[in-house]
Amino acid sequence: MVRGPEQTGYRQDTAMTIRPLTIGALARRLNVTTSMLRFYEREGLLTPAGRSASGYRLYPASAEKTLLFIRRAQRLGFSLNDIKLLLHGTGSSSENQVVDLAEQRFLDIERRLTEMLVLRHELEFFLEDLTERVGRATGGSTGRLYRDLLNQVCGHDAHRKAPSSLSRLIKRLGCAMAIGERSKVFSTLRGRHIHIWREDDGYSILIASRDPEVEKALRQLAASEAHCDAHVEPSVSPSEDGFLFQARGANAFLFAQLFLALEASEA
């Protein structure tokens, strides 16, 4: 006997996928509390499709995807107002605003990431010095302990890849160092030993070399960025240990990432 759709269960499964969800059912699907859903509703992020005969909130099946989007955006650091715009932005001006909002958040994360890369970079040298000091002082198990720590933390990988997003950021901000003609400058600076630290308004990069070609390359790089709107014009000055390249402004982190990449010989 050929069974009809209602007997195969097909219609029932389809109905289950489009049937409105109660607030309790939606909360269980996403493993959140009903009070959180009510909060999102008050903030205008989640809209019920109506109410059941008994007065319970009913949400469309699409509310599950909306809620997943809200939670993901919150994890990425977007505010509720930002998320509201991301959810409801319509029209060309609103769409541009949404893109700008997402890109700005991306840049914020890149700045924070750069600060951590700088700390990791300096910690490597600190641990190397510490290993030598402890190794000489003890000559035994304590020295090996610090050397093991050094290997675990730093890995001694001389071929670490440059941040994959660096090129995209440079191009997005319209910086001149995105131009292919900078390759000769980068070639001169590649693999040089550097020290780098965060300033209140930017980054300072010390290139530990007295090579005149290094100074020339740094000045060429600074001059090429003199008219870039993304950041303040960099400066180059001699120092006791080499040459100091200083970048200022909100997007100075680009230079910090660039020099970290160049030192790693992968830029």
Q: Is the pLDDT of residue 15 over 70?
A: no
Report residue 9's pLDDT band, with 50, 70 and 90 as the boundaries. Answer: very low
Q: Which residues contact 64 (CB under 8 A, 6 or more apart)?
A: 21, 26, 29, 30
Q: Is the pLDDT of residue 120 over 70?
A: yes
258 and 183 in contact (C-beta within 8 Å)? no
Task: For residue 136, give both structure tokens.
Answer: 């000489």
Residue 136 is predicted with a pLDDT of 67
Report residue 156's pLDDT band, with 50, 70 and 90 as the boundaries. Answer: very low
Distance of CA 91 to the CA centre of its chain: 28
Q: Is the pLDDT of residue 6 over 50?
A: no
Highest mean pLDDT among 130-139, 158-167, 192-201, 218-227: 192-201
Residue 217 is predicted with a pLDDT of 93
Distance of CA 93 to the CA centre of its chain: 26
Q: What is the DSSP string of 81-126?
A: HHHHHHHH--HHHHHHHHHHHHHHHHHHHHHHHHHHHHHHHHHHHH
Of the two residues 219 and 159, the one the predictor is more confident about is: 219
Question: According to DSSP H, which parts of 175-232 are helical?
Answer: 183-189, 212-224
What domains lie within the chain, and their CATH numbers?
8-87 (1.10.1660.10), 89-156 (no CATH), 162-267 (3.30.1360)
Residue 87 is predicted with a pLDDT of 86
Residue 93 is predicted with a pLDDT of 62
Residue 150 is predicted with a pLDDT of 58
Dihedral of CA atoms 252, 257, 258, 261 in degrees, nearest 10, equals: 170
| Residue 31 DSSP symbol | T
Helices H, strands E: what count in the chain? 12, 7
Per cent of the chain over pLDDT 90 is 23
Q: Is the pLDDT of residue 44 over 60?
A: yes
Q: Which residues contact 65 (CB under 8 A, 6 or more apart)?
A: none
pLDDT in tens, 205-232: 999 999 999 999 999 888 887 777 666 7
Residue 192 is predicted with a pLDDT of 92
- Cα–Cα dist 215/209, whole Å: 9
pLDDT in tens, 25-40: 999 988 889 999 999 9
Dihedral of CA atoms 62, 64, 69, 74 in degrees, nearest 10, equals: 140
Beta-sheet strands, E only, within the chain: 21-22, 50-51, 57-59, 194-199, 202-207, 235-239, 242-248
Residue 1 is predicted with a pLDDT of 39
Report residue 171's pLDDT band, with 50, 70 and 90 as the boundaries. Answer: low
What SS3 state is found at 207? strand
Q: How many CB atoms lie within 10 A of CB 85?
A: 15
